[in-house]
Amino acid sequence: MNSIFIALIVLAGMGLSFEAGLLGPLGEEVGHLWATLSIFGVGTALLWLIRFFTPNGKFTDWNSIPKWQLVGGLLGPIYVVVLTLATPLLGVAMTMICVLLGQITKSFAIDYFGWFGVKKQATNPLRLVALVLVGLSLCFVYLGAQ
């Protein structure tokens, strides 16, 4: 079962690269904030349609949700605006490797400290080597683009 999720996550990551490739030119044509708004608008419309045609799920009163859990709603648009700005300058590969390094670095911290209710996971030397290799890939891609 894990291999199915790994494959799905890899495909989702490919989707992020595809999105970055679309956002750069879109941002150049309509403006970076409008490009971000269009991406979220289309996504919101799709989610409303999916929600409309699927069985009712669990709905919680918004006031009962801890406010810190809603921070993701702020981080998503910031991420998309940064992608829209950076991709035309850096290229898709460089942008995505930067994203990957940031994601892995913060993910190790979240796992290690058990933030946000995540089960604590120790950082071992192999995980640190993986992080260094991603950092090196960032350096190599950067140098290869020069």
Please give the Cα distance from 87 to 17 (Å, whole number).
Answer: 10
Q: Residue 135: what pLDDT?
A: 93
pTM of this prediction?
A: 0.78
Q: Residue 134: what pLDDT?
A: 93
Which residue, 109, 84, 100, is CA-closest to 135? 100
Q: Residue 6: what pLDDT?
A: 84
Q: For the chain, what's the residue count?
A: 146
Instruction: Give the helix, strand, coil percentages of the chain, each rounded to 5.
Output: 85, 0, 15
Q: Whose structure tokens read 């998503």?
A: 76
Q: Summarize the confidence of residues 1-21 as an average pLDDT.
A: 85
Tokens of 113: 């400290």
Confidence category of residue 59, pLDDT binned at 50, 70, 90: low
Please give the Cα distance from 81 to 27 (Å, whole number).
Answer: 9
Q: Residue 22: what pLDDT?
A: 86
Q: Summarize the confidence of residues 80-95 as an average pLDDT.
A: 89
Q: Residue 125: what pLDDT?
A: 93
Map out the domains of the chain as residue ranges: 2-145
Q: Summarize the confidence of residues 49-78 as an average pLDDT.
A: 80
Q: Summarize the confidence of residues 90-96 as an average pLDDT.
A: 90
